[in-house]
Structure 1
Amino acid sequence: MSDEYSERFRAAGIAAETIAKWQRLLARLASFPSVLVAYSGGVDSTFLAYAATLALHEKCLVIRVATDIESQQQANFAERWAAQLGLNYRAIPFHMLEREDFAQNPPDRCYTCKRTILSLLQQVGREQHIQVFLEGQNADDAGDYRPGRKAVLETGTLSPLAEVGLTKDEIRQLARALELPVWNLPSSPCLATRVPYGERITAGKLHAIEAGEDYLQQLGLTQVRVRHHGDTARLEVQPADMAEIVRRRAEVFAYFRSLGFTYVTLDLRGYSQGSLNERITQA
């Protein structure tokens, strides 16, 4: 199996070092008797779930905790990819906003979410006699403020992509060669990441954020964020897309006013992943 895919990767021009990481990943996954993969439908978790399924077949259980803080678009993608790739997949609903320690939106909000999800998955997995739990952090994730890593360590969950040193770019390269539909999917963490720390997360805020981002994508913009600053929507788009926002400013302003915002601003720096983490990392 490893040689078959390695030949495909070489034909795609993927570096030998990256192929070696893939081989180590498959060997690592095949060493487990069975696994449960935490799945979101994003690039990393989909790639990991696919690799684990190649290595372990029906002994790989893939579960998505379907929360009230993810977008409907992301949920639809996750369901579609799981069916298309033939994953042994289940979804478990959970209302994250009912957790007060999450809804208050402290700086360790992601720790609370990750710990909750991983603990739930471990409970489900052990009912299926599974003892090995995997999640999709990659080798690049150490560069951002990610309190969720603490939950990964506390629960004994493994991060095999990071273990073998696979970066986000390498994962995308491999996913493209494997013809995984997520290979070029833009990064899209949960909607709660658009609300500044310390400001309460509510269903209404998340609805406005989701509707705003859906609208911007319908305009043809691919990488977008709507940051919710009370009565102000701060729009982050790629620098090349700013002219389109300005050209259609009246229409854009009217739409965001309809979502309940008084002011609509365009961040001149452009899209920046984790921009609301900057005050934390600079502290």
Structure 2
Amino acid sequence: MTVTEKLQQIQALFQEMEQALIAYSGGVDSTLVAKIAYDVLGDRALAVTAVSPSLLPEDLEEARLQAAEIGIQHQEIETQEMQNPNYTSNPINRCYFCKSELHDTLKPLAQKWGYSYIVDGVNADDLKDYRPGIQAAKERGVRSPLAEVGLTKLEVREISKFLGLITWDKPAQPCLSSRFPYTEEITIAKLQRVGKAEIYLRKLGWKNLRVRSEVDTARIELPPEQIQEFVLKTNLPQLVQAFQSFGFVYVTLDLEGYRSGKLNQVLPSELLVPSST
């Protein structure tokens, strides 16, 4: 099936739904879903962004601007996953509790506002990784149009570029809680220092990056081909001083480089199987 045919299938899905509420983070995937939904449904589509300490304020502002550019109605809600010890204790299925909180918050709102369907931005490639949040969404009847038609991440970017979305080449930006090794407790203070560190690096011009946090150590991950340039061009003592002002004690550079899903490499192999649709 061609990318064009997949796009047409997604458009047909929204025509069948007649109205939809989109769980919209402002990332590449959910922005594409919001765009297609709005193009098909107009004012019968609503994008809703969950606001919590695990979302960077800068990313929230980008989501607002993108929604305005698309033209879709946009609402913001607060979620309370930080009040749930099942989430803050950071077990390997932490994302399950995050998405449970999200969709348990969205569902009554969708019913109140008259939206029969809640959809998210899960794509076909997400089903191949360990993503416990997908199960939480599935249990609550959430639809995933991109995954339903088999649209991959590469194809998401291709269609986004074709539709003129500025997010087409935006780096993946999962929630800040993904920066901590499993079982290390997540706190608002830890989320804030990671957020400040990543924004600091973004302002230096590095876009595709992670700052992993383990106790008092920050570990910077960049694409492998950028590591040498980073070392040569960055004022390292100044960077260390900045990170220490954010609350870190030690600052390190991961020589392997950034790789999506890196935290999952410590998980048992039986967990690393494709999620069912």
Q: Tell me if TM exceeds 0.5.
A: yes
Q: Secondary structure at the match of 1:174?
A: helix
Q: Distance in 2 between matches of 1:158 and 1:39?
A: 13
1:259 to 246, 251, 260: 246
Deviations, residues 168-193 of structure 1 (Å, cap 9, x unaligned):
11111111111111111110000000
Residue of structure 2 equivalent to 1:271: 258
Letter in 1 for 2:62: F
Match of 2:274 in 1: none
Q: 1:161 offset after TM fit, Å?
A: 0.5
Kindly indicate whether the alpha-carbon contact (under 8 Å) linking 1:41 and 1:75 is maintained by their aligned counterparts in 2: yes
Q: Name structure 1 gaps, 5 residues minimum.
A: 1-15
1:43 and 1:182 in contact (8 A); partners too: yes
The alignment's C-alpha RMSD in Å is 1.4
CA offset at residue 282 of structure 1? 3.5
Q: 1:211 aligns with which of 190, 196, 202?
A: 196
The alignment of Structure 1 onto Structure 2 pairs a total of residues equal to 268
Residue 250 of structure 1, CA deviation: 2.0
Pair 1:143-2:128 in alignment = yes
- Say whether the 8 Å CA contact 1:175–1:182 is kept in structure 2: yes
Is the counterpart of residue 228 in structure 1 residue 228 in structure 2?
A: no
Structure 1 residue corresponding to 2:72, chosen from 87, 103, 114: 87
1:172-211 aligned at under 5 Å gives the runs: 172-211=157-196
1:14-33 pair list within 5 angstroms: 17-33=2-18
Is 2:122 the counterpart of 1:131?
no
Counterpart of 2:275 in structure 1 is none
- Residue 281 of structure 1 deviates from its aligned partner by 4.6
Shift of 1:217: 1.3
Q: Give the distance between the partners of 1:36 and 1:281, measured in 2 at CA.
A: 35
- C-alpha contact 1:111 1:150 (8 A) present in aligned 2: yes
More off after superposition, 36-45 vs 212-221: 212-221
From 261, 267, 271, the counterpart of 1:280:
267
Shift of 1:205: 0.7
Which moved further from structure 2: 252-261 or 214-223? Answer: 252-261
Q: 2:151 — aligned with what?
A: 166
Q: For the Cα contact (< 8 Å) 1:37–1:62, is it kept in 2? A: yes
Deviation of the 1:153 alpha carbon: 1.4
SS state of the match for residue 89, structure 1?
Answer: strand
Please say if residues 139 and 167 of structure 1, whose CA atoms lie closer than 8 Å, have aligned partners that are also in contact. Answer: yes
Retained in 2: the 8 A contact 1:138–1:165? yes
* 1:239 is the counterpart of 2:218: no
Tell me if structure 1 keeps the 8 A contact 2:26–2:62: yes
C-alpha contact (below 8 Å) 2:53/2:192 kept by paired residues: no
Q: Deviations over 1:153-211 (max 9, x none)?
A: 10011111101111111111111111111111110000000011111101111111011
What's the counterpart of residue 60 of structure 2? 75
Amino acid at match of 2:236: R
Report the AA paired with residue 142 of structure 1: L
Identity of aligned residues (%): 38
Instruction: For 2:126 and 2:160, locate their aligned partners in 1 and report how far apart those are by CA, in whole Å.
Output: 18
Q: Deviations over 1:109-140 (max 9, x none)?
A: 10000011012111100012222111110011
Helix, strand or coil at the partner of 1:182: helix
Structure 2: runs of 5 or more not aligned: 271-277
TM-score by length of 1: 0.91
8 Å CA contact 1:106–1:198 kept in 2: the answer is yes
